[in-house]
Amino acid sequence: MRELLFLNQYLKKYQVWMFWGLLCVLLTNIFSAMVPILVRLGLDEALNQSIWISGNADAPIVGLVFQSALFFALAILLIAIVRGVFMYTMRQTLVVVSRKVEYDIKNLLFDKYQGLGEGFYRKNMTGDLLSRMGEDVSNVRMYIGPAIMYFANILFSFIVVIYLMFTVNAHLAFWVLLPLPLLSFSIYHVSKLLNKGNKLIQMQLSLLTASAQETFAGIRIIKSFGMEEAFGQKFNREGEEYKKRSMRLAKINSLFFPLMLLLMGMSTLLVIYLGGKEVEKGRFTPGNLAEFVIYLNMLIWPVASLGWTTALVQKAAASQKRINEFLQVENHQVLEGQPFLFQETILLNQLTFTYEGKSIPALQNINLEIIKGKIIGVTGKTGSGKSTLAQLLAAQYYTNPETQSILIDGVSLAAINIADFRRHLAYVPQDVFLFSETIRDNITFGIEDGKASEESILSAVEAACLDKDISQWPNGLNTVLGERGVTLSGGQKQRVSLARALIKKAELYILDDCLSAIDVKTEKAIIKNIQRWLSNSTTIVISHRIAPLRMASHIVVLDEGRIVAQGSHEYLMANSLYYRNLI
């Protein structure tokens, strides 16, 4: 339960709403409690009249009884309406607060997620991130909204109704209330069973969905290998288990209501039996008896919901615990630090880097000088550490101590304001990622405040040799990509990704194998364009092919994380057997 203390700040934030909501709960209960009193008064009045009538031959029988019945009926109706208004307001305030808190927590989590570094995303799966923001926040909302509302309702109705019952007849009240804790307790247990069953069903459902999702995502390959049967059987197995779990839950569920009704019925019986005896002894009017039956029924729902509400709170506490776990992850983003100033060189000084959980370093003793305004080429076999080098230079691991070996004009990257550094950097990663937005949005994505002139978009598109492709798409630059729109070829994706970097006109470019899926002729054209484009920037080009490498004045050859040769293309061709073989 301690975990839920976190939510107190929100209860405080919306305390005015909470206050009015809780006041309405109280008023709803007070007005509800007036109904049984009116019923008693009405019934006793009618009985008195009928006694009087039976002793008086010329009394206008129907008229009198009818008049008083009408009076009480109208009074009850009026009270019911007032009560309804309060009940409506109670839901409008308390449930609305819970929605507002839900909104706040989702935003808080989203911001937190965005601030967390690479290490966090390696340890946690996207599905887990989403379920904490979705399902867990919903569970917490059930605590803020319904649970608090029902708890207040239970508390107030207990106070009001039990007080009234004891004032009417303390002896009877005691005996009638006796079985209620049993009811509450058993409902609590059944609710827990229901929750457990639900959880098992949810888990199975996600397996079932995943199985269907993977089947249809890979439907082409499944068909071409003739594996429909096997996948059908797998789906069937998951479905069978899902059915079994659902049936089990349905069984518990169908026990739930009869059990509740049985316990409620027994309490009512007890009132009528014991109350009837009191009436016989003259300590109780028939009106009192009716009043008591209604009181009891007013208590049944709160008592029943006590168990259910307790289970809700427990569920919320478990969810809040999971949310807190993520909120407590430390965020290492350093937004202080020096502004990015790059006048002369970027120096890699004995840079060694080992991925977490690996024993062999991905980069070892790298010494490299990157001079401002130059293009540096990086090549090497697959797995030799090229992308690792690119990621380190792009400050993807800037919280690792290794960044201290990267010096920009003598200042370590670790001491530089990372946001400022990124403003001056354009990085095209090896695996392209495009958003399901328009091509225009994908290209202008990195521009601060999103404002890019039409002219600059077009010139970036031209430089990336995308103009012809774009003119063929239905809406040109406004064509939507991804699931909702067109699918691009591998080479087209790479060029959109390149245009996104080019339009940024950054000081430092890192291009990780960004032309690998492009045909030789287009590659040549792009290289010509970007050479002009990048003449004022410093560029690191990673590639397996000669053409992009030839842009570079200096080429570094990596093998198993070490530099095995470096120099100009001509120099390496003449002096490095390794390079020559690679080419």
Our finding on whether 516 is near Mg ion (CB under 5 A) is no
Binding positions for ligand ATP, 358-417, rule CB under 6 A: 358, 362, 380, 382-388
Closest CA to 391 of 545, 513, 510: 510
Supply the minimum distance, in Å, between the C-beta of residue 428 and ligand ATP.
13
List the structure tokens of 156: 């107030």
The answer to whether 478 and 438 are in contact (CB under 8 A) is yes
The answer to whether 193 and 311 are in contact (CB under 8 A) is no
Our finding on whether 157 is near ligand ATP (CB under 6 A) is no
- DSSP codes of every residue in 185-203: HHHHHHHHHHHHHHHHHHH
Shorter beta-carbon distance to ligand ATP: residue 89 or 364: 364
Shorter beta-carbon distance to ligand ATP: residue 149 or 501: 501
Closest CA to 422 of 295, 334, 535: 334
Shorter beta-carbon distance to ligand ATP: residue 36 or 380: 380
Site map for Mg ion, 425-444, x if CB under 5 A?
-----x--------------
List the structure tokens of 391: 């990621």
User: Could you give the CA distance from residue 152 to residue 95 in angstroms, rounded to a whole number?
Assistant: 13
Shorter beta-carbon distance to ligand ATP: residue 14 or 397: 397
Our finding on whether 536 is near ligand ATP (CB under 6 A) is no
Supply the minimum distance, in Å, between the C-beta of residue 384 and ligand ATP.
4
Supply the minimum distance, in Å, between the C-beta of residue 119 and ligand ATP.
11
The answer to whether 582 and 379 are in contact (CB under 8 A) is yes
DSSP one-letter code for 540: E
Continuous segment of H or E residues that includes residue 114: helix 61-115
Torsion sign, CA atoms 114, 119, 122, 123:
negative
User: Could you give the CA distance from residue 241 to residue 208 in angstroms, rounded to a whole number?
Assistant: 9
For residue 542, what are the β-bridge partners? 378, 512
Supply the minimum distance, in Å, between the C-beta of residue 511 and ligand ATP.
13
Shorter beta-carbon distance to ligand ATP: residue 271 or 362: 362
Give the three-state DSSP class for 119. Answer: helix
Look at residue 355 and give the partner it binds from Mg ion, ligand ATP, none, a contact being a CB closer than 5 to 8 Å depending on partner kind: ligand ATP
Shorter beta-carbon distance to ligand ATP: residue 357 or 410: 357
Size of the site for Mg ion (CB under 5 A): 3
Shorter beta-carbon distance to ligand ATP: residue 145 or 385: 385
Shorter beta-carbon distance to ligand ATP: residue 423 or 545: 545
CB-based contacts of 525, cutoff 8 Å, min separation 6 = 465
Our finding on whether 215 is near Mg ion (CB under 5 A) is no
Binding positions for Mg ion, 355-394, rule CB under 5 A: 386-387
Please classify residue 459 by burial: count the beta carbons closer than 10 Å to its beta carbon, then call 0-12 exposed, 13-18 middle and 19+ buried. middle
Supply the minimum distance, in Å, between the C-beta of residue 218 and ligand ATP.
24
Q: Are strands 406-408 and 345-353 parallel, antiparallel or unpaired?
A: antiparallel
Q: Are strands 538-542 and 508-512 parallel, antiparallel or unpaired?
A: parallel
Look at residue 538 and give the partner it binds from ligand ATP, Mg ion, none, a contact being a CB closer than 5 to 8 Å depending on partner kind: none
From 215, 345, 430, 553, residue interacting with ligand ATP (rule: CB under 6 A) = 430
Give the three-state DSSP class for 568. Answer: coil
Q: In degrees, to the nearest 5, what angle opens at C-alpha 168 toward C-alphas 163 and 171?
A: 90
Shorter beta-carbon distance to ligand ATP: residue 98 or 388: 388
Look at residue 145 and give the partner it binds from ligand ATP, Mg ion, none, a contact being a CB closer than 5 to 8 Å depending on partner kind: none
Look at residue 204 and give the partner it binds from ligand ATP, Mg ion, none, a contact being a CB closer than 5 to 8 Å depending on partner kind: none
Shorter beta-carbon distance to ligand ATP: residue 146 or 377: 377
Give the three-state DSSP class for 534. Answer: coil
Supply the minimum distance, in Å, between the C-beta of residue 380 and ligand ATP.
6
Our finding on whether 222 is near ligand ATP (CB under 6 A) is no
Supply the minimum distance, in Å, between the C-beta of residue 362 and Mg ion.
11
Continuous segment of H or E residues that includes residue 411: strand 411-412
From 355, 453, 486, 573, residue interacting with ligand ATP (rule: CB under 6 A) = 355
Residues that bind ligand ATP (CB under 6 A): 355, 358, 362, 380, 382-388, 430
Residues that bind Mg ion (CB under 5 A): 386-387, 430
